[in-house]
Amino acid sequence: MRLTRLFSQSLGILFFVLITALSVNAETKAPTLQKPPTGERWFGIFLGNERTGFAHQNITAKDGGYEITAEGSVKMVVMGFSREASSRERYVVGPDLSLRSFAVEQVIDGTLMGVTGEATPKGVKVVVNAGGERKEKLLAAKGPVFPPPVLNILPLVKGTAKGKRLQVQMLDVEAVKVKKVTVTVMGFEPLPDGARALHLRNDLFPLVDNDIWVDAAGNTIRESVRDGLVETVAEDEGRTRQFIASAALSRRDLIFDFSLVRVDPPLANAASLTRLVMELDGIPSSMPIIQGGGQTARRTDAGTVVFTVEPAKTAASPLAEPERTRYTEPTDRLPADNPDIIAHAREVVGQETIPRKQVEKLVQWVAATVEDAVTDAPSPLDTLKSRKGNCQSHARLYTSLARAAGIPTRFVSGLAYLEGKGFLYHSWAESYVDGGWLQVDPTFGQVPVDATHVKLVEGEGPDDLAAIAGVVGKIKARVIETK
C-alpha cells in the first residue's frame, strides 16, 4: 500500500518575500547607512492564528557587494483565492544593493520554474526554464533594478524622512518582469516592550497595503498584509526548524514542494523494490549516518553519502541487555506501560507467540485502524482515541504497542518514495526479531518496508528530529541502482 491521500483539502498561498531592514536612531529621518545587516533571519507566516508557512534568509558580504539567499514555503486560502508556493532564491547585489545576478527555483501551484539572470546596461537578461522549455528574454529597464529582499532596506540606505515616498524598480521573479514599487516611510511607533519601530508601507500587492515594522537593531519584526489578515513574524531558529521538521514528516501540503526530493527518471514500481542504491547530496558532515536494519551507508570523497537499502537482508546480531531494556521501556512519547496500550497490544497479538508474527499483526492493525491524516496526534493515547494521525502518529502508536508486547522497537525517520512524485520525509519503525532489526511501516502496512525507505535519524524526541529540519529542502538525490 502506498500513500495516495496527500491532499485532504484544497489550500492555497500568498507567498511573501521576507526581508530585513537597517537600524534607525532618529524620530523623523532614517540615517544614511552604508550596508545591510548581515546574518540569518527566521520567520513564521500566519493566516489568522494558524501557521501556514515559514521563511529563512541570510545576507553575507561578497565580492564588494552582498549575497542574499532566501528559502520558504507558504500555502493559504484567502477570500476564496487559493495558491501555494515554495522557493529557493539567491541574489548577488552591489554595494548600493542593486541587482548583479540571481538564480531562483520556485514551485507555484505545483508548477516548477527556474529563473536565472544578470543585470545589463539595457535591463535584466533572464533565462526561464519551465515545462521542459528554455526561453531567454530581456526585461528592459533604465537605471538600477533591485531584488525583492532589499525592498525595505532602500529607504533606510537613502535616509528617507517620514512621509517621503521612494519609487524603485523591482525584479518580480514570479511574473518575470520589472515592476515599479513605491515604499512610504510612515514614521516611528511604540512596540509592546517599550522600544520603538520604524513603520514602512509598500504597494507590492495591488489594492492591498503591505505594512512592515523594523526595530532599532535593524531587524524586521513583523509584516502585515490587509490589516493583519496575513502576518509574517520574526522568530528564533529553533522554533522555525521544529515547524519544518514536523511539517515535512506530516507531509503538510504547505511544505510539500519544498521538502520533496525529486529523482530523474522517477522510480517505477517503488513499492516492489527490494534493493536501492542511492547517492544523497546535502547531508552535513556533522550528521551521523545510520546503519542497520538492512541499510548500509558510506561517505564519499565528494561529500555525498551513498545508501544501500535491502530491508529483507537484515544481518543477525545479538542485542545486549542494556539495548533490549532501552527499546522496550516507556518514554514520554512512547507510553508502553499505559494500561490502554498494554490492553490493545494483548488484544491484537492474541495467542501468537512468534515475535515476527506478532510484529506483522501489530503493523497491520495500526495501518488498518488509524486513518491517514496530516495532523500529528500529541500522544499514542490520542491516536488510539481518534483513530487518525500522520506517519509519526502511526509509528509512535506501533512502537508503543510493540514495546508493550515485549518486542524491542525503535522509531526511525528518513525518506520514502511517493509514486510519480519523489522522496518525501517519513517516519516508520524497526523491531528486533530473529536476531536482527526488521524495518516495518505501520502507515503503509509493510513488513518489511520497501527499499525506498532510507533512514536518516533514529529517535522520536524533538532533539532527535532536529536533524531532519537541518536537511529539508537541501537534499538532492541520484539513484544508482534498483532491483
Series of mean pLDDT values for 10-residue runs along the chain (483 residues)? 26 27 39 79 84 91 95 66 75 96 85 91 93 88 94 80 88 89 88 80 77 77 79 89 80 70 89 94 91 94 95 85 94 92 96 96 96 79 90 94 97 91 92 94 95 93 75 89 92
Non-local CB neighbours of 38 within 8 Å, separated by 6+ positions: 59, 60, 61, 66
| Partner residues linked to 298 by β-bridges | 306
Q: Which CATH code fits 240-482?
A: 3.10.620.30
User: What are 180's strand-pairing partners?
Assistant: 169
What was the pLDDT predicted at 248? 79
The pLDDT score that the predictor gives to residue 1 is 31
User: Would you call the peptide bond into 448 cis, given omega within 30 degrees of 0 as the criterion?
Assistant: yes
pLDDT of 329: 95
Tell me what pLDDT residue 253 has: 62
- Cβ atoms of 317 and 436 within 8 Å: the answer is yes
What is residue 314's predicted lDDT score, i.e. its pLDDT? 79
Q: Where are the alpha helices (DSSP H) in 139-180?
A: 154-157
State residue 206's pLDDT score: 61
Look up residue 148 and give its DSSP letter.
Answer: G
Packed helices 339-349 and 355-369: angle between N→C axes, nearest 10 degrees: 110
Residues 435-473 as b/e (b if ≥16 CB within 10 A, e otherwise) read: ebbbbbbbbbbbbbbbbbbbbbbbbbeeebbbbbbbbbb
Q: What is the pLDDT of residue 22?
A: 27
Note the Cα 33 to chain centre separation in Å: 34
To the nearest 10°, report the CA torsion of 206, 214, 73, 67: 100
pLDDT of residue 10: 24
In whole angstroms, how far apart are CA 288 and each of 100, 399, 440, 457? 38, 23, 22, 8
Q: What is the pLDDT of residue 155?
A: 80
